[in-house]
């Protein structure tokens, strides 16, 4: 479905896609999409290395999406990142996933965009309360068994720890992602004085994609609308237009 949506946006442009699909959604649903888009944060991101447990993968997605993180970077050195959809509760549909073969490749790409890349390590001198959030921040999390690889540690600019006050020396992977992303997104938003920071062009494309995800048969509605605009003899059909809003909406929040 997402591949087809991306193709539609690429071929017709986000404006044409929105023109065809917005009449199919209620005002409340459109407002909800815009509210979440306005709160999407691109300048704080997580990198997870070689996650093998589908439940941890899904929980990481769900936490990042719920906190408004725009992208989750997944490094697949030995294990393919596969999330349990029953745990994401639909969150995977709204997250951007970027896949990489090595942490070094991901870190270099993010560093070129102005990010500082931190690795999560026990006993780190810096914590999520003290690292600099005046510039974009990426945090690397190792997998459930061995933590961060030596290659991943070497690819980072520094190490960051999560404050702990009990006997346990570490948190579960998905818990670590949630704790770190929650604190860093809060600090970054306070510094920005805004809840989100997506560039306008990214937000426009994402808005078209999200609207399409909310509608059954979105691709056919767009294609018929485009055909109708160029060939007036092509009817829009019963699943498009203002009168069919409730019949094409998906029952998802």
Higher-scoring residue by pLDDT: 251, 156: 156
56 plus 122 within the same structural domain: yes
Distances, alpha carbon 175 to alpha carbons 54, 90, 178, in Å: 14, 19, 5
pTM of the model: 0.85
Domain count, the chain: 2
158 plus 80 within the same structural domain: yes
Helix orientation angle between 14-21 and 2-12, rounded to the nearest 10 degrees:
110
- Domain of 93 in residue numbering reads as 42-192
Give the H or E element holding residue 64: helix 54-66
- CB under 8 Å to 229, separation ≥6 — which residues? none
pLDDT interval class at 152 (50, 70, 90): very high
pLDDT recorded at residue 164: 87
- Percent of the chain beyond pLDDT 70? 85
Residue 253, domain member (yes or no): no
Q: Which of 140, 149, 101 is nearest to 117 (CA)?
A: 140
12 plus 63 within the same structural domain: no
pLDDT recorded at residue 250: 52
Q: Could you identify the residue written with the tokens 């290395």? A: 49
129 plus 51 within the same structural domain: yes
In this structure, what CATH number is given to the domain that contains residue 179?
Answer: 3.40.1280.10
């Amino acid at each position: 479905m997402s591949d087809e949506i991306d193709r539609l946006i690429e071929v017709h442009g986000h404006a044409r896609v929105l023109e065809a699909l917005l009449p199919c959604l209620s005002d409340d649903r459109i407002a909800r999409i815009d509210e979440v888009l306005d709160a999407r944060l691109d300048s704080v991101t997580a990198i997870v290395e070689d996650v093998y447990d589908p439940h941890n993968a899904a929980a990481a997605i769900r936490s990042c999406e719920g906190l408004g993180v725009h992208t989750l970077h997944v490094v697949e050195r030995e294990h393919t990142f596969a999330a349990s959809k029953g745990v994401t509760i639909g969150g995977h549909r709204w997250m951007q996933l970027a896949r990489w073969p090595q942490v070094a490749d991901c870190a270099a790409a993010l560093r070129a965009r102005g990010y500082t890349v931190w690795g999560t390590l026990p006993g780190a001198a810096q914590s999520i309360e003290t690292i600099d959030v005046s510039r974009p921040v990426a945090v690397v999390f190792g997998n459930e068994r061995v933590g961060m690889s030596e290659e991943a540690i070497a690819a980072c600019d520094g190490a960051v720890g999560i404050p702990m006050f009990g006997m346990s020396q570490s948190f579960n992977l998905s818990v670590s992602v949630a704790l770190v992303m929650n604190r860093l997104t809060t600090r970054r938003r306070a510094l920005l004085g805004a809840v989100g920071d997506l560039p306008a062009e990214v937000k426009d494309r994402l808005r078209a994609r999200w609207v399409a995800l909310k509608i059954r048969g979105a691709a056919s509605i767009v294609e018929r609308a485009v055909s109708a605009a160029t060939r007036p003899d092509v009817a829009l059909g019963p699943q498009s237009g203002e009168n069919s809003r409730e019949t094409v909406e998906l029952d998802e929040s």
